[in-house]
A = this chain, B = another copy of it.
Amino acid sequence: MPKIDLTKIPLKTGSGYPGKLAATMDGRAQQAVGDAGGITQFGANIVTLAPGALSSLRHWHEQQDEILVVLQGKLTLVDDTGDTQLRPGDVAAFPAGDSNGHHLINRSDAEAKFFVVGTRTETETGWYSDHDMKVTADQSGFHFTRRDGSPLPGSEP
C-alpha cells in the first residue's frame, strides 16, 4: 500500500549533536516517511516543530541536495541573508555545495510541520554556520568535529 499510515511511524526526538548542543533540538520530532514507504535513494521526513523549536543547527551540505515544503503553521527560514517567513505550501531549496547555511525556527505559538527530502550519498560532509563544527558521515555513522577536524572537547559545544 503506497499510502503511509502516519499514525504508525514513530516520532523520533532527540539529536545526535554532541554535548550541550543536543538539547538545542528539544521540541523537534521527525517521522521517516521515506523509510516507511521503502524509499532508499533519498531521505524523506515529516518534521514537527513545537513553538520555539529548530529544524537543525544552521548548516549546509557538500554533496546532498535538500528541499522542503511547509505543511502546517508558520516557520522562519534563517540563512546568510536573514529571515524569511514561510507558510503552508511554501518551498525552499538548498542545492549541494551552496555554503549558504540554513535552518528553520518555529517562532509562532503553534505547532508547525514540514516535509523535507535530501539525497542519500555514501559519504557526506556538513558544515555548521554558527558553530566551530562540521559533521562527516559514512557507513559507520555521523562524526562531529571542529572545523579543522580536531575533536570537540567533551560535552562542550
**Alpha-carbon distance A115/B69, docked complex (angstroms):** 8
Interface residues contributed by chain A, number (CB under 8 Å): 43
What sequence of 0s and 1s flags, for each residue 89-128 of chain A, a beta carbon within 8 Å of any chain B beta carbon? 1111111101010100000000001010101000000000
As for how many copies of this chain the complex holds, the number is: 2
Determine whether the beta carbon of A3 is less than 8 Å from that of B33: no
Tell me, yes or no, whether A38 is within 8 Å of chain B by CB: yes
A4-B91, A84-B3, A93-B38 are contacts. A117–B71 as well, Cβ < 8 Å? no
Cβ-closest 9 pairs across A and B: A37-B93, A38-B95, A2-B92, A41-B65, A4-B91, A41-B119, A39-B65, A69-B115, A33-B91
